Amino acid sequence: MAKKSASSQRKHRPINVRRQLQKLQPHDASWRLNFTGIVVGLVFFCVSHTPSLLPVAPLFQGAIAGISFAVGYGLGVALSWTVRLLVGKELPAAVKSAAWWLVRIATPVLAIAYSIWAASWQNSVRSIMGEPALVERHIAESLAIAVVVGTLCVTAGRLIAWAIRRVSTFVSKWIPARLSIGVGIVVVGVVLYWVYSGILVTAFVKVTNDIYRNNNAKTNAHATKPQDMLHAGGNGSLISWDSLGRQGRNFIGRGPSQQQITDFSGIPAKQPIRVYAGLDSADAPKSRAQLAVRELKRTGAFERKVLCVITPTGTGWIEPQSADSLEYMWNGDTALVAMQYSYLPSWISFLVDQQNAVEAGQELFDAVYQEWQQIPSGERPKLIVYGLSLGAYGGQGAFSGADDLQNRTDGALFVGSPSHSQPWLRFTEGRDAGSPEWQPVYQSGRAVQFAANEKDIAATQSRWQGSRTLYLQHASDPVVWWNTKLILQKPGWLAPRGDDISPNMRWYPFVTFFQTSADQLFATSVPAGHGHNYSDVIVAAWATITQPEQWNHEKTAHLQQIINSYAIE
């Protein structure tokens, strides 16, 4: 039998994994950039400049681009490693040299070109939202920041890869080389997770707790201790002023006066009732809720026309436009009650204690409902539920679905509800066929409806049956649409998309997730009617939910003018 040729022997020779692993070790070429990593990273860098939901400042555009490049680079390196380990072959030197020259030319050209195009794309989004256009210097700023952030992220990734190689090489002395790579990944991954969760997160939570605990003890200049008996912390109150926390004192110590409401309506108004239980008012959520109910009874809140149960945002903040609108609309014949569950900003509270929001929403509503249902049906106030952002997430936690909301409330208003909220998610996923994800129709709008503007709200009138639950949400609100599924899954809210989403926005794996994450930082700073800013429709929303007698469009417009004059807090 003829001997096999040398080339045939090479072709069928088993891959020496240990040798391939050694090629990846940190010797003279260990810190060279990876070709596939650069190519994939450049693709991620370019698409990260395409528009997202909201206008992005140059600083954050550069950061997103740098992070995107680093993630793409890491994926490219992983792909390169996998191919080299499995195939065990290298391209001819001439081909590799030509490819490297092409990358050296294409990288700066495409980076500059996409940075310039990004300004144009960003200006298209700014035009939709009525914001000023970017100027030329912003292009240079964004590109410089992208280079710095990308370099730092890639360096960190390469240090992690170096650690994996070192561990893999060490253990490959005793176990198969293929298995040693997995061991290296697991060992380094466990160490990084321990550092992240055991050191970094712990330190972060401690520092932020210290900062915001001190902040919670402060009092805003315009918040003054009430002297009447109809506010928590005032004369005869069961809840001390000092225990309310900063945002509780801000809520109790301001708001429209009886005279201001009278001036608006032209009819003698009642002094609104406001009750708030801070974290220091009682030692547990259930105790705080029970204390708040006793305070409601003391003030005569169950004798008012409207009783609104509010779940605040993470810091305990309650949007003044929403609270004041309801009091003006009902001529002061209202009682508002809320309790604090955290003093951390919503985004931090979501990361470390989001369940506290749900527990607070459940405990407070259940305590109020238990007292409210004992009152004869003809003598009860309207029982309304309200929540904004993380407050909407927590406030919904007391209800299992549409029937529960209808059976136990006279209406609910949830504004900018995060995508992980329930039952919001069930309503959205169970929407009627043909309705878009960003404005779903659920069971023909019988009990639950969604709206983005005053026109949408007006269109809901003919569909309601019984008590009403309204969700305010904009197609461009990143707080509503952000979730980790964006990493690998195209969102339904882009097909079809809302009117205030740029026609140039596209979904890209990983990149859209980073863009939407950054968008949340600007969600409340965009003009009303976009992003997470709903102040321009709050009056129309309350009118639809609570249905005050002898109310009309002119009164809505007049009250909205008052609300629009509020300074952003």
Q: Distance (Å, rounded) from C-alpha 66 to C-alpha 79?
A: 20
Q: 31 and 25 in contact (C-beta within 8 Å)?
A: no
The residues spanned by each domain of the chain are 14-211, 220-417+534-564
- Per-residue model confidence (pLDDT) at position 557: 95
Mean pLDDT by 10 residues, the chain (569 residues): 43 46 44 86 93 90 93 90 77 85 91 87 87 80 91 90 85 79 85 82 79 83 87 93 94 94 95 96 95 97 97 93 96 97 82 84 97 94 97 95 96 96 96 94 95 92 92 96 94 92 93 93 90 95 95 95 78
The predicted model scores a pTM of 0.86
- Per-residue model confidence (pLDDT) at position 220: 84
Q: Distance (Å, rounded) from C-alpha 316 to C-alpha 249?
A: 10
- Per-residue model confidence (pLDDT) at position 10: 41
Q: Distance (Å, rounded) from C-alpha 340 to C-alpha 391?
A: 10
Dihedral angle sign, alpha carbons of residues 402, 405, 411, 412? negative
One-letter-per-residue 3-state SS of 513-544? HHHHHHHHHHCCCCCCCCCCCCHHHHHHHHHH
Q: Which CATH architecture has domain 220-417+534-564?
A: 3-Layer(aba) Sandwich (3.40)
Q: Distance (Å, rounded) from C-alpha 293 to C-alpha 16?
A: 73
Q: Distance (Å, rounded) from C-alpha 318 to C-alpha 232?
A: 15
- Per-residue model confidence (pLDDT) at position 176: 79
- Per-residue model confidence (pLDDT) at position 289: 97
- Per-residue model confidence (pLDDT) at position 25: 43
- Per-residue model confidence (pLDDT) at position 180: 81
Strand order in the sheet with 411-415: 273-277, 334-339, 306-311, 382-388, 411-415, 468-472, 448-451
Q: Distance (Å, rounded) from C-alpha 178 to C-alpha 313?
A: 50
Residue 483: Cβ within 10 Å count: 15
- Per-residue model confidence (pLDDT) at position 1: 41
Give me the helix-helix angle, 553-564 and 320-329, nearest 10°: 140
Q: Distance (Å, rounded) from C-alpha 123 to C-alpha 116?
A: 11
Stated as kind and residue range, the H or E segment containing 351 is: helix 346-372
213: number of CA atoms within 13 Å, CB side? 7
229: number of CA atoms within 13 Å, CB side? 5
Closest CA to 418 of 461, 473, 492, 468: 473
